[in-house]
Amino acid sequence: MFKIPFIDLPPMRGASGRIRLPGSKSISNRVLLLAGLAEGTTVVHDLLQSDDTEVMLDALRQLGCGVEADGARWRITGLGGQLAIHEATLFLGNAGTAMRPLTAALAVLAALQGGRFELSGVARMHERPIGDLVDALRPLGCTVDDLGHPGYPPLLLRGTDGGRLNVEKPIRVRGDVSSQFLTALLLALPLAARQAKVVIEVDGELISKPYVEITLNLLAQFGVDVQRDGFERFTIPAGSRFATPGRIHVEGDASSASYFIALGAIAAHGGAPVHIEGVGTTSIQGDIRFVDAAKAMGAQVRSGPNWIDVHRGAWPLRAITLDCNHIPDAAMTLAVMALYADGPSRLTNIASWRVKETDRIAAMAAELRKVGATVTEGADFIEVVPPKAWHDASIRTYDDHRMAMCLSLAAFNPLSIEPGHAIVRIEDPACVGKTFPDYFESLFDLASAHPDDIPVIAVDGPSASGKGTLAGSIAEHLGYHLLDSGALYRAAALAATMDGIPLDDEPAVARVAARLDLRFEGDRIFLRGKDVSEALRHEDAGTLASRVSSHPAVRKALHGLQLAFRRPPGLVADGRDMGTVVFPGATLKVFLTASAAMRADRRLKQLISKGINATIDSLRADLEARDARDKSRSAAPLKPAEDALLLDNSEMSIDESVELVLKWWSERRPIR
Ligand code: DC
């Protein structure tokens, strides 16, 4: 995940490939709560790992449930309907799917068994309404104190042991602000239905009905069969109790799928589709119906029980007018698809957007305008007219994961009928951690751009100048890929040695280099499937690399491999010829130098930390000899590119060097 202030998305032109979705947030948090209330242990497969589920797991731990990670699975041992701990202060972040059902469940348990539970969240959580739920719980006999503004968290839930609840009369709840209030009651009230049935009646037209369907489906899997009359009246039968299904699988998140369905509809125009795994036709999530909306706009979709393939169909996309009440979250993605449509699109019946992670109607309108769209907003609708001209834009994300994911799709502006060439800066990209921590990595895996549009920062310089450390740090700050070109020469030398090829046999080494089977996974490097990260870092590997790197044929053989690292969103390339030979058009070139004495000193410290003995004088002599050889060799001699900025870091800390290069970078890429 990118914990950085912003990420710049270059103009992108295509997408294809396979994406495995993270688990559904709605299913994950409901399953966790149900497993936490049920008797026995539930093994949960494919649980979403995100901020919102972390909040729920923490709450369950605090309440005394068993919570154990078992590889990719979780083992949750529930309370069996009996409080283990009667007092707790729970911090629930900005997770509505934790706040609402925990409020209901703990209010009911405290009223029946005695207890004192304080529930709070981040500032935005305290602006998100919960009054309709509290208004349903109080007549039932629950004691709920407002600790802040009435009708909003934080709340105190309390009661004394042996209390009773008034379940004789139907419990009434409003359904027209958020369906989560009804869901919360449905998840909690089986706890009060041991002796007599409990009836819940909905006031007003229930919104987001599909989310209530998920609740009912999961309740059934946990042994509670709720009967319903339309979406107005729900009956929990007498004698209900939560029973663990033993094991349960969480589907991929259908709302998260919407970004990749849109991606396919916009950018999969080269033959291969965007192939999405984790949800499909048998999904219990309402947002799967986003597929129909995307088809109406032109997407070509094929699907199976657990997968969806999407291609571009109609282009430009067809503008739509759609009542989006049934797909409130995924509908945000339609607002961004509307940028690529053949006319104005209007999404209606979306008042609930205003009470989500942020006021999503206002936020969406403001940010779509920045890229060039004309947007009209109303109390419960939004209308988007595609841009005539696209603008570079710095997109605010309002601590709202969906704003970040949606607006990333504006970076495909070169595909628009009025083609743009705009950079889309996403501020605080780590906010996607709420539901999809790896969103940007997944997007960049699938997206393609014209190489000239993908920024490159070249960091060249002599041995032990600190290039590697500097380049790594810059890449991390910008969320860019990193090319450690030295590692390629090291790997080529290692592979040739493994094959028993003498390193001065230039054509043979070049053949090995051209067929190098290398794979990068985070900071691990695999050669022919074997982890060689340690072996490559070794001094010997450097010495061997220095020999093979003087062969022009080897340099040529590795050229294409190095170019392939230029992928969205950008590249930081480190090595002595990055700015001169491999990426002569790099956006920024830094030539790092430091005195031989200083470099020798740094290398000495590095070696000592690895437990290797050396003397400063011999290291310095080595470096000077290497410099002389590198400068005088005929193949890619070491020299600064003409347009490189020289950075002598002899007297600078690494942080100071990084800061300076980032400053140079921001001067090169001005964005509002
Ligand atoms: O940067 P390093 O120590 O990992 O590099 C290993 C060897 O490969 C070193 O002798 C320089 C050579 N090299 C090169 O010639 N061109 C590059 N782009 C990177 C490394």
DSSP string covering 291-320: HHHHHHHT-EEEEETTEEEEE--SSSBPP-
Choose the residue to mutate in 549, 574, 580 for probing ligand 1, maximizing ligand atoms within 8 Å of C-beta: 549
53 CB near ligand 1 (under 6 Å): no
**Ligand 1 atom at shortest distance from the alpha carbon of 549:** 15
Rama region for 279: left / alpha / beta (φ>0; ψ in -120 to 50; rest): beta
Compute, in angstroms, the gap from residue 662 CA to the centroid of ligand 1. Answer: 24
- pLDDT for residue 538: 82
486 CB near ligand 1 (under 6 Å): yes
**Ligand 1 atom at shortest distance from the alpha carbon of 467:** 1
Same fold, 25-249 and 486-565: no
Q: Going along 16-94, which residue ranges are E strands?
A: 17-20, 41-45, 66-70, 73-77, 87-91
**Ligand 1 atom at shortest distance from the alpha carbon of 468:** 1
Kindly report, residue by residue over 151-196, the tens digit of the pLDDT: 999 999 999 998 999 999 999 999 988 899 999 999 999 999 988 9
Contacts of 95 (CB under 8 A, 6+ apart): 29, 51, 52, 55, 56, 121, 125, 434
- pLDDT for residue 540: 83
Residue of the CA atom closest to atom 15 of ligand 1:
549
Residue of the CA atom closest to atom 18 of ligand 1:
575
Selected catalytic residue, list 8, 253, 329, 392: 329
8 CB near ligand 1 (under 6 Å): no
Closest to 52 (Cα-Cα) out of 15, 90, 26 = 26
Q: Assess if CATH 3.40.50.12780 describes domain 454-480+569-672.
A: no
| 38 phi and psi angles, rounded to 5 deg | -75, 165
User: What residues of the chain score a pLDDT lower than 70?
Assistant: 1-2, 670, 672
Domain range annotation of the chain: 6-22+252-450, 25-249, 454-480+569-672, 486-565
Choose the residue to mutate in 460, 576, 589 for probing ligand 1, maximizing ligand atoms within 8 Å of C-beta: 576
- pLDDT for residue 303: 97
329 is known as an active-site residue: yes
Residue 395, amino acid: I
> How many CB atoms lie under 10 A from the CB of residue 609?
8
- pLDDT for residue 672: 53
Contact between residue 442 and residue 7 where contact means Cβ atoms under 8 Å apart: no
489 CB near ligand 1 (under 6 Å): yes
Tell me the HSE value of 101 on the side-chain side, using a 13 A CA sphere: 28
Q: Please tell me the distance from the alpha carbon of residue 629 to that of residue 181, in angstroms, as a whole number.
A: 73
580 CB near ligand 1 (under 6 Å): no
Helix pair 180-188, 96-113: axis angle to 10 deg: 40
490 CB near ligand 1 (under 6 Å): yes
Q: Assess if CATH 3.65.10.10 describes domain 25-249.
A: yes
- pLDDT for residue 2: 58
Q: Please tell me the distance from the alpha carbon of residue 420 to that of residue 10, in angstroms, as a whole number.
A: 11
Distances (CA, A) of 531 to 13, 62, 521: 34, 40, 10
The DSSP bridge partners found for residue 7 are 426
605 burial type by CB count under 10 A (0-12 exposed, 13-18 middle, 19+ buried): exposed
Q: Which two tokens stand for residue 135?
A: 């208004």
Compute, in angstroms, the gap from residue 577 CA to the centroid of ligand 1. Answer: 9
Q: Please tell me the distance from the alpha carbon of residue 349 to that of residue 366, in angstroms, as a whole number.
A: 19
> How many CB atoms lie under 10 A from the CB of residue 112?
23
570 CB near ligand 1 (under 6 Å): no
| Superfamily name and number for 486-565 | P-loop containing nucleotide triphosphate hydrolases (3.40.50.300)
Compute, in angstroms, the gap from residue 454 CA to the centroid of ligand 1. Answer: 24
Kindly report, residue by residue over 214-255, the tens digit of the pLDDT: 999 999 999 999 999 999 999 999 999 999 999 999 999 999
**6-22+252-450 fold:** UDP-n-acetylglucosamine1-carboxyvinyl-transferase; Chain (3.65.10)
623 CB near ligand 1 (under 6 Å): no
Residue of the CA atom closest to atom 10 of ligand 1:
546
- pLDDT for residue 340: 98
485 CB near ligand 1 (under 6 Å): yes
Q: Please tell me the distance from the alpha carbon of residue 169 to that of residue 171, in angstroms, as a whole number.
A: 6
- pLDDT for residue 494: 96
Contact between residue 24 and residue 248 where contact means Cβ atoms under 8 Å apart: no
Record the pTM: 0.89
Rounded to the nearest angstrom, the gap between the alpha carbon of residue 468 and the centroid of all alpha carbons in its chain is 27
